[in-house]
């Protein structure tokens, strides 16, 4: 997986991604990170990339030109030739008709809510471009030309798109083959089946008077799997009942949940 990030703060992205699982994956060549500083593509001698908003309003807006030029330089490395800013939107579309347009993820409140299924979809790409807005956002004209996947990670406001982009990159990275030491982890974690993950325990067997559930010490794999499934169902019903509407439930699952409902509180 090759990540390309168009940002005003490349060091912020690099510093985060160089740690832990993603950092080790980059060392192994499973992930790569290319941060493009949008300021390098402004034609303003003071590296100014923002200006006042037409029609008035608080704050400043990132201008279309430096964003477009940074993107143009990036996709040229992928063999895609786009016109300079004296060209037209139609010419941009014609260029992408000749060669596949790379996916560009833009973190924005108008985007689709980010989910595990979306992460799985993104993980199948060879290249992903992230566009990080700042200030009051980015001029709409350039967004219409280059963004393919507007995404939102939640109903709240951040100071820029960098943190949100790193959330998405982290979630996607875990699904890239070889990144996780234990491939089973990605299959059993929360949201993988639209269910929350079951509770887990480690040594010691008794901690402050609380013992590990006996079934987990039994060595009976079928019973352990049944317990874990039931605990996932109970947790999801208690904390995220909305997920159950999308989950693929067996008849056995439905009967268990009906019994849980009958015996509630959980």
Per residue in 63-91, pLDDT tens? 999 999 999 999 999 999 999 999 999 99
> Considering the domain boundaries, does residue 152 fall inside one?
yes
> Considering the domain boundaries, does residue 181 fall inside one?
no
Let me know: does 107 contact 161? Beta carbons within 8 Å: yes
Q: Can you give the pLDDT at residue 193?
A: 81
Q: What is the CATH number of the domain that holds 55?
A: 3.40.1280.10
> Considering the domain boundaries, does residue 126 fall inside one?
yes
**Assigned token pair, 237:** 């019903």
Q: What is the CATH number of the domain that holds 204?
A: 1.10.1270.20
Q: Can you give the pLDDT at residue 188?
A: 52
Q: Can you give the pLDDT at residue 256?
A: 95
> Considering the domain boundaries, does residue 23 fall inside one?
yes
- Rounded distance, CA 65 to CA 214, Å? 63
Domain boundary among 118, 141, 173: 173
Do 169 and 194 lie in a common domain?
no
> Considering the domain boundaries, does residue 180 fall inside one?
no
Domain boundary among 147, 173, 199: 173
The pTM score is: 0.85
Do 134 and 255 lie in a common domain?
no
Give Cα 166 to chain centroid, integer Å: 7
Distances from the Cα of 15 to the Cα of 1, 130, 190, 194, 248, angstroms? 18, 16, 27, 32, 39
Do 51 and 138 lie in a common domain?
yes
Q: Can you give the pLDDT at residue 265?
A: 61
> Considering the domain boundaries, does residue 178 fall inside one?
no
- Rounded distance, CA 226 to CA 213, Å? 13
Q: Can you give the pLDDT at residue 57?
A: 83
Do 256 and 166 lie in a common domain?
no
Do 131 and 12 lie in a common domain?
yes
> Considering the domain boundaries, does residue 139 fall inside one?
yes
Q: Can you give the pLDDT at residue 190?
A: 55
Let me know: does 76 contact 36? Beta carbons within 8 Å: no
Do 77 and 123 lie in a common domain?
yes
Could you list the residue range(s) of the whole structural domain that residue 93 is in? 2-173
Do 146 and 246 lie in a common domain?
no
Q: Can you give the pLDDT at residue 192?
A: 62
Do 114 and 32 lie in a common domain?
yes
Do 162 and 218 lie in a common domain?
no
Nearest alpha-carbon partner for 167 in 239, 207, 114: 114
Task: Please state the domain count of the chain.
Answer: 2
Point out the residues of the chain with pLDDT beneath 50.
Answer: 184, 266
Nearest alpha-carbon partner for 179 in 7, 35, 36, 3: 3
> Considering the domain boundaries, does residue 182 fall inside one?
no
Q: How many CB atoms are closer than 10 A to CB 91?
A: 12
- Rounded distance, CA 30 to CA 82, Å? 29
Domain boundary among 173, 203, 220: 173
Q: Can you give the pLDDT at residue 135?
A: 83
């Amino acid at each position: 997986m090759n990540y390309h990030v168009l940002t005003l703060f490349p060091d912020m992205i690099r510093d985060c991604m160089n740690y832990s699982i993603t950092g080790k994956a980059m060392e192994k060549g499973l992930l790569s990170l290319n941060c493009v500083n949008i300021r390098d593509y402004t034609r303003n001698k003071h590296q100014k990339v923002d200006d006042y908003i037409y029609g008035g309003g608080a704050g400043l807006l990132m201008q279309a030109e430096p964003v477009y030029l940074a993107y143009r330089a990036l996709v040229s490395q992928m063999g895609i030739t786009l016109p300079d800013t004296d060209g037209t939107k139609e010419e941009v579309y014609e260029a992408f008709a000749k060669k596949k347009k790379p996916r560009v993820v833009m973190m924005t409140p108008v985007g689709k809510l980010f989910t595990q299924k979306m992460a799985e979809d993104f993980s199948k790409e060879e290249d992903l471009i992230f566009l990080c807005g700042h200030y009051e956002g980015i001029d709409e004209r350039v967004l219409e030309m280059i963004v393919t996947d507007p995404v939102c990670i939640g109903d709240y406001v951040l100071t820029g798109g960098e943190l949100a982009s790193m959330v998405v990159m982290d979630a996607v990275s875990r699904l890239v083959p070889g990144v996780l030491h234990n491939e089973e982890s990605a299959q059993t974690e929360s949201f993988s089946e639209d269910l929350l993950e079951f509770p887990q325990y480690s040594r010691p067997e008794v901690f402050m008077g609380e013992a590990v559930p006996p079934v987990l010490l039994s060595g009976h794999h079928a019973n352990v799997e049944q317990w874990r499934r039931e605990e996932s169902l109970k947790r999801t019903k208690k904390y995220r009942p909305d997920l159950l509407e999308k989950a693929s439930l067996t008849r056995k699952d439905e009967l268990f949940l009906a019994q849980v409902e009958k015996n509630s509180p959980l």
